[in-house]
Amino acid sequence: MTTTKYKINELFQTIQGEGAFTGQPSIFIRLQGCPVGCSWCDTKHTWEIDPNLIIPSNDMLTKKQESEHWSHLTADEMANIFSQQGYKAKHIVITGGEPCMVDLTPLCDTFERLGYSCQIETSGTFEILTTERCWVTVSPKINMKGGYAILESAMQRANEIKHPVATEQHVDDLKKLLLDHNVKHTPIYLQPISQKQRATELAIQTCIDNNWRLSVQVHKYIGIE
């Protein structure tokens, strides 16, 4: 049992729509707070941590629309919510916001002891503190306005690298990053930004040219969370 409390924006069960685990029934834990500031971010409602927008843990269950409200929850409280809700998925995706602003070890450790597998979605701009078994998806944010650098330790810990792309510059940035950090064997996914047609065409061609993989945010095409 751990008493660590996490700032939670959303808890929901769905199908993982991105990267290596695409198609996997998953419970999402979305943390509040991110300072990185990607202009095309699809979860801007998680950026600010406004103490005036804190809500009771019970209200998490009835929160159906995206909002900036958040709740303070321990891993055990989350596990109780999942069983109350009758969630069946055995894979947990911890995302945000930027989840690695805090130590995720107690959270992942609790869920792994309960028989779940865990995955983190992170920008690689903060030290990744988690269990050894946890799957880490690093989605490096290069030259973002926040000026956050991608950590060498994050590049080495990544089980997969999932890079959002819309322009040739994004592809060039990724190639330089992989060279700078001597990344050779980690699976690389390109994810078209905001389902734009040109971004998708660029991602397809670049994947073919480099033997990388395509990640198309399946959930957005089939209209699930």
Ligand X SMILES: C[S@@+](CC[C@H](N)C(=O)[O-])C[C@H]1O[C@@H](n2cnc3c(N)ncnc32)[C@H](O)[C@@H]1O
Ligand Y SMILES: Nc1nc2[nH]cc(C(=O)O)c2c(=O)[nH]1
164 binds ligand X (CB under 6 A): yes
219 binds, among ligand Y, ligand X, ligand SF4, none (CB under 5 to 8 A by kind): ligand Y
Taking the complex as a whole, how short is the minimal distance between the CB of residue 51 and ligand X, in angstroms?
21
140 binds ligand SF4 (CB under 6 A): no
According to the annotation, is 197 in a ligand binding site? no
Number of residues that bind ligand Y (CB under 6 A): 10
Per-residue contact string for residues 61-100; x = within reach of ligand SF4 by CB under 6 A: -----------------------------------xxx--
Question: Contact at 8 Å (CB) between 18 and 31?
Answer: no
CA 188 to chain centroid: 15
How many residues are recorded in the chain? 225
Q: Which one of 4, 13, 43, 57 is in contact with ligand SF4 (CB under 6 A)?
A: 43
214 binds ligand Y (CB under 6 A): no
DSSP the chain: ----EEEEEEEEEEE--SGGGTT-EEEEEEES---S--TT-S-GGGS---GGGB--TTHHHH--S--S-BEEEEHHHHHHHHHHHT----EEEEESS-GGGS--HHHHHHHHHTT-EEEEEE-SSS-----SS-EEEE----S-TT-PPPPHHHHHH-SEEEEEESSHHHHHHHHHHHHHTT--SS-EEEEEGGG-HHHHHHHHHHHHHHT-EE---HHHHHT--
Region near ligand Y per CB under 6 A, out of 13-21, 60-68, 77-85, 108-116: 13-21
Region near ligand X per CB under 6 A, out of 37-45, 49-57, 80-88, 109-117: 37-45
160 binds ligand Y (CB under 6 A): no
24 binds ligand Y (CB under 6 A): no
CB nearer ligand X, residue 42 or residue 50 = 42
Residues that bind ligand X (CB under 6 A): 34, 40-43, 95-96, 98, 121-123, 139, 162, 164, 191, 193-194, 217
Residues that bind ligand Y (CB under 6 A): 14-18, 43, 95, 121, 219, 225
